[in-house]
Every structure is written in structure tokens, then in C-alpha cells.
């Protein structure tokens, strides 16, 4: 019997999760407190599925097959009925999370595991007072989840092992690559890595060392080419004849010296932001951001196809 997934929230992330689960064969009930938002989401959903079909990313399924597995539900009780896993995608506001989880605690099936898409709120902040808090965890996607397979699974101090195992199983069956975070930490792993990189990028622009465009080039035409198929530890393990220890012996002094100069907190507001916005607006008109976002997703689709084919031919 196919597991039923309940998706709470029909915004950008909720829609993306619905596509990801439905493509993997799950039946999905998507619900939202706003009937208008729920109705509007359906057309956007089908458009996203069509884009996947155009890039051979539906695994030999038709658009109608995948779309047909997603059912909009105005009534949350109906959406939760029979669901073995619930993906919550409400606003990144603590009080809203607490309110939603209090409702889910009462209305969800007793064995259902509940994952939150929160980008930075650890689960203990909004599940501590719940009767069934043992089944609650963070399942943080990288947007959009139907194109980016990594998902962070982070327990609260009281999340039990069977709930983490069940969430991992669901994600793997949906084609995702779970990252297990052993204990709670602010912003989890992916965002912490992104924040560290952004701090240095902001500092470099602020110091006049490079432009936004050249720093983007350093990543997209430099580091990210390797990072698209291997991470930082494998990168340095392969960048010295004797592996990671050899690499750290050769470059440890340099990295420690640079690290000591990277302690200032970057200013993400004020005149620096004004200058970076001026640079970005010269590259991209505000009216073209939506079109450029669609371009990004098409490039991600092409990359997903390439990685799949390369893994089959070269190995992963």
C-alpha cells in the first residue's frame, strides 16, 4: 500500500514538496488555511510538473499521473487522515509554528511522523509542550526540493530514533539524500555553510577586493564545479598525493592564518548592501528576477539530468 503524505501549506516550499513526493509515487494531500492560496497553487504545481517532464525528470511517468496523486484539501482533518508522514511548511514565525504543531499533535494519526521545513528554527522551540513530541523533527529542504535532493534531518532532544528512521526512509524513497544532523544547532548544516561563505563574500566586497560579479564567478566557474559532485572533505582528500593529512600538512599554516582574519561579522545591511544591490541591479533588472529564477530552475534540471547520466556512465 502506498504511503499517504500530508503537506501543510501550499506556498513555494509546500508545492515543491508535493511534486517531489508525488513523482516518487506517494499520494499527497496538500492543505492550506487559505482556500485561495490552495486553489492558486494547483496551476503552478502542474506547470512545475510539466517542466520536469520536458527535461525527462518524471521517471517515465506522465504529467497527469504525477499531478493526479496530489489532492488539494481545504479541511486539515481530511488531509491528515491516514497520513503516515506530514511535511509542515508554514511561515518562519515561532508563534505560528507552535500553533500549527499544537493542532497537528491532536489531529494527526498517532503513528504519523511530522517534519518541519523550517530554515532556522530548531524543533525544540515549537514542540516542547506537545504530548507526542517524540515524533517531531526538522526536515529542511534545499529549494526547490524536487530538483535538489539533499534534505537535512535534525531531531530535537526528545525525537525518538524510530521517528528519525521513518523520516529517513520516506525521504530516501522520495529520491532525496538525507543529511543526518546529530543534535540541534542554529540554522542546521547547509545554511551554516552558506552563511560562512556569504560572510566572506560580503567582507571581500566591503574591503574592495573584488566585485559581486567576480565573486560569483569564483564560485560558479571555480569551486562549485567540483562541489556539484563532491564535497569539501573529498575535495581536499583528492587535492594532495597523500590525501587529507597531506593536504592539511601542506596548507594548514595558510588556512589557519587566513582563518584568523575572517573573524569580523559582515554587515548585511547599510551602505554595503546598497552597493551590492547597485551592482546586482546593473546585472539584472528587478522586473527580470522572476524570469531569471525560472532560468535557474531550468539549469538545475539540466544539471540533475547530467549528474544522473554521469553517475551511470562514470560512477558516483
pLDDT tens digit string along 185-217?
A: 999 999 999 999 999 999 999 999 999 999 999
Same domain, 200 and 176: no
- Mean pLDDT value of segment 43-66: 95
Question: What 3-state class would DSSP assign to 65?
Answer: helix
- Going by the DSSP 8-state scheme, the letter that residue 265 receives in this structure is P
Same domain, 173 and 102: yes
Quote the cell numbers at residue 69.
496523486
Q: Which of 154, 253, 259 is nearest to 203 (CA)?
A: 259
Q: Which of 106, 95, 99, 183 is nearest to 138 (CA)?
A: 183
What is the C-alpha to C-alpha distance for residues 197 and 164, in angstroms, rounded to an integer? 29
What is the C-alpha to C-alpha distance for residues 88 and 107, in angstroms, rounded to an integer? 14
Last residue within a domain, chosen from 154, 180, 206? 180
Same domain, 173 and 30: yes
Residues 13/117, Cβ–Cβ less than 8 Å: yes
Last residue within a domain, chosen from 180, 209, 225? 180
pTM to 2 decimal places:
0.92
Residues 61/23, Cβ–Cβ less than 8 Å: yes
pLDDT tens digit string along 223-266?
A: 999 999 999 999 999 999 999 999 999 999 999 999 999 999 99
Residues 8/89, Cβ–Cβ less than 8 Å: yes
Does residue 39 form part of some domain? yes
pLDDT tens digit string along 70-87?
A: 999 999 999 999 999 999
pLDDT tens digit string along 96-121?
A: 999 999 999 999 999 999 999 999 99
Residue 156 maps to which CATH number? 3.40.50.720
Last residue within a domain, chosen from 180, 208, 238? 180
Residues 88/8, Cβ–Cβ less than 8 Å: yes
Q: What is the pLDDT of residue 269?
A: 87
Confidence of residue 267 (pLDDT cuts 50, 70, 90): confident
Q: What is the pLDDT of residue 28?
A: 98
The domain of 204 spans 192-283
Looking at the chain, the whole-number percentage of residues with pLDDT higher than 90 is 96
Same domain, 152 and 213: no
Same domain, 171 and 269: no
Does residue 57 form part of some domain? yes
Domain count, the chain: 2
Q: What is the pLDDT of residue 2?
A: 73
Same domain, 25 and 170: yes
Residues 3/158, Cβ–Cβ less than 8 Å: no
Does residue 212 form part of some domain? yes
Listed in sequence order, the residues at least 6 apart from 3 whose beta carbon sits closer than 8 Å to its beta carbon are: 26, 27, 84, 85, 170
Does residue 137 form part of some domain? yes
- Mean pLDDT value of segment 145-172: 97
What is the C-alpha to C-alpha distance for residues 93 and 114, in angstroms, rounded to an integer? 17
Work out the end-to-end distance of the chain between its first and last CA atoms, rounded to an integer number of angstroms: 32
Detail the DSSP E strand segments found in 156-231: 177-180
What is the C-alpha to C-alpha distance for residues 251 and 103, in angstroms, rounded to an integer? 53
Same domain, 136 and 257: no
Q: What is the pLDDT of residue 316?
A: 81
Same domain, 10 and 49: yes
Residues 142/122, Cβ–Cβ less than 8 Å: no
At residue 1, does pLDDT exceed 60? no
Alpha-carbon 126 to chain mean position: 20
Does residue 294 form part of some domain? no
Amino acid at each position: 500500500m502506498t504511503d499517504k503524505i500530508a503537506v501543510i501549506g501550499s506556498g513555494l516550499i509546500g508545492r515543491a514538496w508535493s511534486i517531489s513526493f508525488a513523482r516518487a509515487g506517494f499520494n499527497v494531500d496538500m492543505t492550506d488555511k487559505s482556500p485561495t492560496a490552495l486553489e492558486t497553487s494547483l496551476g503552478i504545481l502542474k506547470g512545475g510538473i510539466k517542466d520536469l517532464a520536458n527535461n525527462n525528470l518524471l521517471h517515465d511517468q506522465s504529467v497527469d499521473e504525477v499531478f493526479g496523486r496530489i489532492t488539494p484539501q481545504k479541511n486539515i482533518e481530511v488531509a491528515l487522515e491516514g497520513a503516515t508522514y506530514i511535511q509542515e511548511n508554514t511561515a518562519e514565525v515561532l508563534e505560528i509554528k507552535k500553533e500549527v504543531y499544537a493542532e497537528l499533535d491532536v489531529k494527526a494519526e498517532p503513528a504519523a511522523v511530522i517534519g518541519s521545513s523550517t530554515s532556522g528554527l530548531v524543533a525544540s522551540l515549537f514542540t516542547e509542550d506537545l504530548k507526542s513530541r517524540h515524533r517531531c523533527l526538522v526536515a529542511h529542504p534545499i529549494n526547490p526540493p524536487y530538483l535538489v535532493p539533499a534534505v537535512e534531518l535534525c531531531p530535537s532532544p526528545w525525537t525518538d530514533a524510530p521517528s528519525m528512521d521513518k523520516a529517513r526512509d520516506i525521504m530516501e524513497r522520495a529520491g532525496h539524500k538525507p543529511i543526518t544532523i546529530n543534535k540541534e544547532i542554529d540554522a542546521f548544516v547547509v545554511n551554516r555553510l552558506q552563511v560562512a561563505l556569504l560572510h566572506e563574500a560580503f567582507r571581500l566586497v566591503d574591503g574592495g577586493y573584488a566585485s559581486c560579479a567576480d565573486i560569483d564567478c569564483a564560485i560558479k566557474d571555480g569551486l562549485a564545479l567540483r562541489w556539484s559532485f563532491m564535497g569539501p572533505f573529498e575535495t581536499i582528500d583528492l587535492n594532495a598525493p597523500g590525501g587529507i593529512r597531506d593536504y592539511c600538512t601542506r596548507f594548514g599554516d595558510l588556512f589557519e592564518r587566513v582563518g584568523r582574519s575572517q573573524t569580523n561579522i559582515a554587515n548585511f545591511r547599510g551602505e554595503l548592501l546598497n552597493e551590492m544591490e547597485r551592482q546586482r541591479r546593473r546585472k539584472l533588472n528587478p522586473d527580470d528576477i522572476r524570469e531569471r529564477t525560472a532560468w535557474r530552475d531550468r539549469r538545475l534540471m539540466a544539471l540533475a539530468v547530467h549528474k544522473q547520466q554521469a553517475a551511470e556512465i562514470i560512477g558516483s
